[in-house]
Amino acid sequence: MDAKQILKSLSIEKKLGLLTGYDNFSALKINDEPLIRMADGPNGVKTADGDSLCFPNTCLMASSFDKELCFEIGKMLGIEARRHGVNLLLAPNVNIKRNPLAGRNFESYSEDPFVTGALALEFIKGIKSKKVGACIKHYACNNQEHLRWIQNSVIDDDTLRNVYLKAFEMVINGTDVDFVMTAYNKVNGKQCCENEYLLKTILRDEWGYKGAVVSDWASIGDVVQALKNGLDIEMPCNYELTYPKLYKAYASGELTEQEIDEKLTRLIEFYNGISHDTNFNEEIDEQKLRKFTGESFILLKNDGVLPLKSDEKVLIVGSSAENPRIQGGGCANIKTKTILRATDEIMKQTVNAEYVSDYELCGITASDLKSYDKIVVFLSLDFGSDSEAYDRTDLSFPIQQITAVKKIAKHNPNVIAVLSNGSAVDLSFDKYTKAVLETYYAGSLGAGAIADVLYGKTTPSGKLAETFPLSVSDVPSYNFACGEDVNYAEREFVGYRYYTTYGVKTKYPFGYGLSYCKFNIDNVKIDGSGYDYEVSFDITNNSKYDGKETVQIYLGDESRFAPKKQLIEFITTRVKAGEKKSCKAKIGASSFSRYLNGTKKLLVGKFKIIVATSSEHEIFSKDIELNKDSFAPISRETLIGELMKVDRYREIAKKYLLKAINLWAFGDENSDKNFEDDEFLRNHAYGMPIRGIAYFSLGKLTDETIKQLILELNNA
């Protein structure tokens, strides 16, 4: 379809009408049929017929820490979309889990932006490999549901960019994203869909985004402002209200035909990039999906009770074994015909299992409980919690489920808890268990995957992509839902970045997860210099189970001004029973750069590269000094302390600045004393920007010499 030709043939009235949806989930009806056909969402293709498969929810997919797996699942969703005639999937959701109570955590990846961006990128590549479009959402800072239509995220620019926008940026850098969906909330006082800073300055001008921008459903306040400030299309259909406003804006010259054409061109070009072949009969490999699901479960605790043996006498407790919660609520919640039940699936693996649905355990005596080798209790959050539109109010499982665990443990210590929830929960009861298996919301085939894991057919290999705190009051954004203005006062100290920096104990840390395998990681090396390193290690699986291990690489920073640890890479590798593998990863400049005052800069100073199996379990680390390269551009605002960290800047800076500093510090521009030897003078001078010292120089440094100095530094 030639966009230019089409636009030439359309009247302005028709064009204006195309800037709003055609109905709830379609748009761009140029002729008979709308050309863009959308569906939610992250864990399945939401259609009216209800014959889609429900996929492991994003929280579970994230626990895989497995890029390949996310690509494969994206591919499967692409197949589902094609099967249902959907050409734009409203997924993934790359918002950061700022607080474990946030309603949509189940459809988000992580508290960490790097793992979010890395996995979402592969997921999108997978969807796109089937020639279906993807839409990342919700741009930006949609980190809670409470008051989401009017809530204002008040956030400083460094935190915004380094934490909350990073995954968007990574994905947009890594592939051709088709659509970005704006969020309901405001950021720094401006509605996201009307936010010129987010939509034009950052998204288009800085990141060079070429795809389209769509509003979240019915989120628009002023449609003309939204379109002027970077939105391309409003969803869903709002023709009656929108068209007159758009016509007026066009007639008054506020909205030009050229602007309208640019927006429609993006939509037409999207349509040109996807498949129109309706003859599609590819099937999903459900066995593979079931395996992926089980592998992503996180074994939080295992005191030798798992896996089960088929000749062990087992009692299964809890109605959620029969009626599982497979997904969170809201738009992501899809209709599905396929829902496996753990009761059926376990019975396929053993003849020695019995089931009681009732958490009250009516009619079951102490000696009955004692008679089982193991007791598997299924715990699940209520169907109402973990949903779009509202947040949870606490971290607990329903009390009767916890009571059941405690009651059973009194008579039989071999309690295994199987958890279904969408985000971190209170696990203080785990002392009454011998094993805890986190399965999150595992989708249509989840119960099959649970049975496979319980009986050792699949090794749980997931890692927590979010911290499980000891208490909700430990969470840095504890008071997140307190009013309309939500102050992101904890800044970049979100999740493990906070707990590790402030030494706050957690129940289970970010990145943590056990396995049936016994992995040995040795020969760890970190080679390189400057801003280029290679991390390598050998991993041996000393067990009879095949499995995966995720080794994490953090940037360590002891400066107190930044999080003590930040994930910069992870390596997830499959290792067969008895196998030994060598792994390596490159760490380059992008891992050592961060935004400061709106500009991406290379870090300078002393850091560590940490190799770990969780944010709290380090296995190796190496001190590095990042000072060989430039952190330009240097300006009048650059701190003298920053310059002094880099040898070659130091020389230049001293040449110009020394006289001024000497004059200021010792009253004598030719003094042979060194101001750096005096703690007060050193700290005082280091804390000043270049312009500051000029004021103290009594005319030794003029505007001209400062310009000269800055030029020389930037050319160094």
List the catalytic residues: 216
Could you tell me the smallest distance in angstroms from the CB atom of residue 440 to ligand BGC? 19
User: Residues 285-291: contacts with CB within 8 Å, 24+ apart?
Assistant: 285/76, 286/53, 286/445, 288/72, 289/53, 289/55, 289/56, 289/73, 289/76, 289/443, 289/445, 290/445, 290/448, 290/449, 290/452, 291/449, 291/452, 291/458
Using the minimum distance from each CB to ligand BGC, give the nearer residue, 180 or 340: 180
Q: Is 216 in the site for ligand BGC (CB under 6 A)?
A: yes
Tell me how far apart the alpha carbons of residues 358 and 215 are, in angstroms, rounded to a whole number. Answer: 45
Do 346 and 451 meet the contact criterion of CB atoms below 8 Å apart?
yes
Alpha helices, DSSP H, located in 252-365? 257-273, 286-296, 342-347
Least distance (Å) from ligand BGC to the CB of residue 25?
A: 7
Query: Coil, strand, or helix at residue 157?
Result: helix
Nearest to 515 by CA among 549, 539, 544: 549
Each residue 124-153 as x (binds ligand BGC by CB under 6 A) or -, in order, gives -------------x----------------
Q: Residue 37 Cβ, how far from ligand BGC at the closest point, in Å?
A: 13
Site for ligand BGC in 424-453 (CB under 6 A): none
Q: Closer to ligand BGC by CB, 41 or 78: give it.
A: 41
The 3-state DSSP class for residue 566 equals strand
CB atoms inside a 10 Å sphere around CB 61 = 30
643 binds ligand BGC (CB under 6 A): no
Q: At what angle do helices 679-686 and 647-666 cross, to 10 degrees?
A: 120
Residue 325 contacts residue 489 (beta carbons within 8 Å): no
Residues 243-302 that bind ligand BGC (CB under 6 A): none
Backbone angles phi and psi of 258, in degrees to 5? -65, -40
SS (H, E, C) 380-443: ECCCCCCECCECCCCCCCCHHHHHHHHHHHHHCCCEEEEEECCCCCCCHHHHHCCEEEECCCCC
Residue 316 within binding range of ligand BGC, rule CB under 6 A: no
| Separation CA 502–CA 338 (nearest Å) | 45
Nearest to 148 by CA among 335, 394, 330: 330
Tokens of 699: 């005319």
**In the complex, least distance from residue 78 CB atom to ligand BGC, rounded to whole angstroms:** 17
Q: Could you tell me how many residues of this chain bind ligand BGC (CB under 6 A)?
A: 7
Classify 473 as helix, strand or coil.
helix
Minimum distance from residue 565 beta carbon to ligand BGC (Å): 31
Residues written for the chain = 716
Residue 90 interacts with ligand BGC (CB under 6 A): yes or no: yes
Measured CA to CA, the distance from residue 549 to residue 583 in angstroms comes to 11
Q: Which is nearer to ligand BGC, 27 or 90 (CB)?
A: 90
Question: What SS3 class is residue 19?
Answer: coil
Smallest distance from the beta carbon of 283 to ligand BGC, in angstroms?
A: 26
Contacts with ligand BGC, 6-45, as mask; x by CB under 6 A: ----------------------------------xx----
* Spatial distance between the Cα atoms of 603 and 482, rounded to a whole number of angstroms: 35
3-state secondary structure 591-638: HHEEEECCEEEECCEEEEEEEEEECCEEEEEEEEEECCCCCCCCCCCC
Write down the least CB distance from residue 188 to ligand BGC, Å.
20
Q: How far apart are CA 263 and CA 246, in angstroms?
A: 14
CB of 612 to ligand BGC, least distance (A): 34
Q: How far is the CB of 12 from ligand BGC (least distance, A)?
A: 29
- CB nearer ligand BGC, residue 110 or residue 615: 110
* Beta-carbon contacts of residue 715 (< 8 Å; ≥ 6 apart): none
> Under the phi-then-psi rule, with left for phi > 0, alpha for psi from -120 to 50, and beta for the rest, what region is 82?
alpha
Q: Which amino acid is at 574?
A: R
Query: How far apart are alpha carbons 499 and 478 in whole angstroms?
Result: 13
Least distance to ligand BGC from the beta carbon of 637, Å?
A: 39
Is 331 or 435 the residue whose CB approaches ligand BGC more closely? 331
Cβ density class 613-624: b for 16+ within 10 Å, e for less: bbbbebebebeb
Q: In the complex with ligand BGC, which residue's Cβ is closer, 331 or 369? A: 331
Select 91 or 555, whichever has its Cβ closest to ligand BGC. Answer: 91
Q: How far is the CB of 408 from ligand BGC (least distance, A)?
A: 40
The answer to whether residue 390 forms part of the interface with ligand BGC (CB under 6 A) is no
Residue 154 DSSP one-character state: E
Cβ at position 475, least distance to ligand BGC in Å: 23
State the Cα–Cα distance between residues 285 and 293, nearest whole angstrom.
Answer: 13
DSSP state of 54: P
Return the number of the residue (40 or 72) whose C-beta is nearest ligand BGC: 40
Q: How far is the CB of 164 from ligand BGC (least distance, A)?
A: 17
d(CA 604, CA 154) in angstroms, rounded, equals 28
Identify which of residues 24 and 702 has a Cβ nearer to ligand BGC in the complex.
Answer: 24
Phi, psi for residue 319 in degrees, rounded to 5: -65, -20
Looking at the Cβ atoms of 216 and 295, the one nearer to ligand BGC is: 216
Is 331 or 710 the residue whose CB approaches ligand BGC more closely? 331
Residue whose CB is less far from ligand BGC, 390 or 570 = 390
Binding mask 318-347 toward ligand BGC (x if CB under 6 A, else -) reads -------------x----------------
Q: Residue 92 or residue 563: which is nearer to ligand BGC going by CB?
A: 92
- In this structure, how many other beta carbons lie within 10 angstroms of the beta carbon of residue 10? 16
> Residues 217, 355, 508, 510: which binds ligand BGC (CB under 6 A)?
217
Instruction: Report the interface residues with ligand BGC, using CB under 6 A.
Output: 40-41, 90, 137, 216-217, 331
